[in-house]
């Protein structure tokens, strides 16, 4: 497969192999400074941090060394002054003794492994054919994720204190083999990575890489992947998928967060690929300033920092860094919960091409501060079942002091109805609502809010453009199931010409109270189509 690399406007192609780094280099101007910042002197150059409200997220957490982010790339400059403090160190390995002390199959893998060259130095190789962009690519990505923050040096990453595990799978020209990606992913997972950044693309998904992705998903590892770049507005990857970003498991799970790139105007970047089936979210990926490879023996690598980097390769690590912040603050979050949080907290795209409205660049541009704000609502215990058709075993109550109506369930918890629409999916009128004193109302502990009764309303989660049918719980999970109605033609077939009247907005914080089922791509026998009241 031939990937495309743009360097100072001149197109250069990787030599034909299976995987290629999805990177374009475009020089750009520095961004303006913003408030509430650490003391890193080059932070004003990092416009993307303000755009995703990183300072607001940093009020909650700046990351923790317990969260390890594996960077499967061209290697990382592990001696960089703004990275070395955050480079992962294998606690079970003794440096330089030539032994595999921890028994993981790799001798002296103190800071990761080089699968491209088969050695323990996961750094760019100065020898042989090379391109400047490919050589420094992994170091740029690592800096976006976790350059040390507030150290008076250079720049800050999204997660100042997270650890970077360098895993080299691409050569000096940005090419590599799918087999190396598979074994590298297994290496990262088995050595403690919670997040894996994949800033490369390929034309297919070989079985060994697919198996490694499945194993990582089963282990609770969050995988973030670039959607890829192309000229003339980007490619539609729904029509011609790029991997691994577009890969789905056979059981329907989406194990990889596919990331499109946005520009300074919050529009889909002109080079970014797109496709509603592959792009989950978008992130800044144009004119990014970060750490770069430093090699005083080569004139092209004389500096420590550089800007003008553009591509979905840069957007993906922005998301990986936000994921590291989420897992630092809430380590129990699962990969599906992380994806839901990113989607629900995203800001709408300002895209005049139609990609934003169609969700072709994901649901929106990530917002780190809002993601940290709504994440606590996902750290919840399993919800109690909803009442029966007539609310058997419960009571409807309210007090004169409060306007809310509550359902008191069989376990004595008062569960509020968020609005009248939700109430009328369960009950015909207010005639059975009892008025009680405020003291009596307060004696019932507050429980989870009521959700629309399955089979009555369709829902749209605020900040998510998708419309879902609410289906009954399945198996042992008591939560109602959301099924995405994939297109308007299907919605009309299920709900008639006035299908939009069935849709009600639901607060983002309610999202984790639903489970998810398969998408609806057409009429199905016995499918609940909903009612209006």
The secondary structure of 328-362, three-state, reads: HHCCCCCHHHHHHHHHHCCECCCCCCCCCCCCECE
Lowest mean pLDDT among 5-9, 72-76, 158-162, 270-274: 5-9
Structural tokens at position 512: 């984790």
Count CB neighbours of 523 within 10 A: 10
Find, among 438, 525, 517, 530, the residue nearest to 491 by Cα.
Answer: 530
CA dihedral of residues 48, 244, 363, 504 (deg, nearest 10)? -150
How do strand 23-25 and strand 68-73 relate by DSSP bridges? unpaired
Spatial strand order in the sheet of 19-21 = 175-176, 19-21, 200-201
Check whether 293 has a pLDDT greater than 80.
Answer: yes
Is 263 considered catalytic here? no
Catalytic residue among 53, 137, 272, 409: 137
Check whether 278 has a pLDDT greater than 50.
Answer: yes
Q: Which residues pair with 176 in a beta bridge?
A: 19, 170
Report the distance separating Cα 227 and Cα 246, nearest Å.
8
Q: Report phi then psi at 520, rounded to 5.
A: -100, 115
Report the distance separating Cα 306 and Cα 483, nearest Å.
45
Lowest mean pLDDT among 174-183, 370-379, 518-527: 518-527
Catalytic residue among 40, 53, 73, 409: 73
Is 272 considered catalytic here? no
Structural tokens at position 149: 């923050």
Q: Could you please report the per-residue DSSP string of 14-33? A: --S-SEEE-EEE---PPPPP
pLDDT for 386 equals 56
Catalytic residue among 175, 272, 290, 313: 313
pLDDT in tens, 41-66: 999 999 999 999 999 999 989 999 99
pLDDT for 9 equals 25
Report the distance separating Cα 20 and Cα 311, nearest Å.
13
Find, among 292, 290, 210, 280, the residue nearest to 244 by Cα.
Answer: 210
Structural tokens at position 409: 């369930």
pLDDT for 5 equals 27
Report the distance separating Cα 148 and Cα 153, nearest Å.
8
Spatial strand order in the sheet of 481-484 = 503-506, 458-461, 468-471, 481-484, 515-516
Check whether 381 has a pLDDT greater than 80.
Answer: no
Check whether 174 has a pLDDT greater than 60.
Answer: yes
Check whether 475 has a pLDDT greater than 90.
Answer: no
Give how far the C-alpha of residue 229 lies from the chain's centroid of Cα atoms, to the nearest Å. Answer: 18
Check whether 390 has a pLDDT greater than 50.
Answer: no
Q: Which residue has the tokens 């309610």?
A: 510
Mean pLDDT score, 472-485: 84
Classify domain 4-378 by CATH number.
3.40.50.200
Residue 462: pLDDT band with limits 50, 70, 90 = low
Find, among 428, 430, 433, 470, the residue nearest to 451 by Cα.
Answer: 470
Q: Which residues pair with 12 in a beta bridge?
A: 5
* pTM strictly above 0.75: no
Residues of the chain within CATH 3.40.50.200 domain(s) are 4-378
Is 80 considered catalytic here? no
Residue 354: pLDDT band with limits 50, 70, 90 = low
SS3 230: coil
SS3 395: strand
Q: Between residues 106 and 457, which one has the greater pLDDT? A: 106
pLDDT in tens, 226-250: 999 998 889 999 999 999 999 999 8
């Amino acid at each position: 497969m031939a990937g495309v690399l743009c360097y100072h406007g001149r197109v250069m192609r990787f030599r034909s192999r299976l995987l290629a780094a999805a990177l374009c280099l475009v020089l750009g101007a520095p961004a303006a400074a913003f408030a509430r910042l650490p003391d890193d002197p080059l932070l004003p150059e990092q416009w993307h941090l303000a755009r995703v409200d990183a300072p607001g997220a940093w009020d909650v957490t700046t990351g923790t060394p317990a969260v390890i982010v594996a960077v499967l790339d061209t290697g990382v400059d592990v001696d960089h002054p703004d990275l070395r403090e955050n480079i992962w160190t294998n606690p079970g390995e003794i440096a330089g003794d030539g032994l595999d002390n921890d028994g993981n199959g790799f001798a002296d893998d103190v800071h990761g492994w080089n699968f491209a060259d088969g050695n323990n130095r996961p750094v760019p190789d100065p020898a042989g054919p090379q391109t400047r962009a490919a050589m420094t690519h992994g170091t740029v990505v690592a800096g976006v994720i976790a350059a040390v923050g507030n150290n008076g040096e250079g720049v800050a990453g999204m997660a100042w204190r997270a650890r970077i595990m360098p895993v080299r799978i691409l050569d000096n020209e940005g090419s590599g083999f799918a087999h190396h990606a598979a074994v590298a992913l297994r290496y990262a997972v088995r050595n403690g990575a919670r997040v894996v950044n994949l800033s490369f693309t390929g034309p297919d998904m070989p079985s060994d890489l697919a198996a490694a992705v499945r194993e990582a998903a089963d282990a609770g590892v969050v995988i973030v992947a670039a959607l890829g770049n192309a000229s003339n507005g980007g490619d539609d990857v729904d029509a011609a998928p790029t991997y691994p970003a577009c890969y789905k498991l056979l059981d329907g799970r989406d194990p990889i967060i596919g990331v499109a790139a946005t520009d300074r105007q919050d529009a889909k970047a002109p080079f970014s690929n797109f496709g509603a089936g592959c792009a989950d979210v978008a992130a800044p990926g144009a004119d990014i300033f970060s750490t770069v490879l430093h090699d005083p023996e080569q004139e092209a690598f004389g500096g420590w920092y550089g800007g003008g980097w553009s591509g979905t390769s840069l957007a993906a690590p922005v998301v990986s860094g936000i994921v590291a912040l989420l897992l630092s603050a809430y380590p129990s979050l699962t990969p599906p919960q992380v994806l839901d949080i990113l989607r629900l907290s995203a800001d709408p795209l300002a895209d005049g091409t139609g990609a934003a409205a169609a969700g072709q660049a994901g649901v929106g541009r990530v917002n780190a501060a809002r993601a940290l704000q709504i994440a606590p609502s996902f750290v919840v215990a399993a919800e109690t079942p909803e009442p029966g058709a007539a609310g058997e075993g419960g009571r409807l109550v309210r007090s004169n002091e409060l306007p809310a109506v509550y359902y008191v369930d069989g376990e004595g918890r008062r569960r509020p109805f968020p609005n009248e629409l939700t109430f009328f999916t369960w009950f015909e009128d207010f005639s059975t609502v009892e008025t009680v004193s405020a003291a009596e109302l307060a004696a019932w502990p507050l429980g989870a809010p009521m959700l629309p009764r399955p089979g009555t309303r369709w829902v749209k989660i605020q900040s998510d453009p998708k419309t879902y049918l609410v289906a009954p719980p399945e198996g042992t999970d008591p939560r109602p199931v959301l099924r995405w109605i994939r297109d308007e033609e299907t919605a009309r077939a299920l709900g008639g010409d006035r299908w939009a009247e069935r849709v009600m907005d639901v607060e983002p914080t309610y999202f984790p109270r639903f489970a998810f089922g398969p998408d609806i791509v057409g009429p199905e026998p016995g499918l609940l189509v909903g009612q209006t009241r």
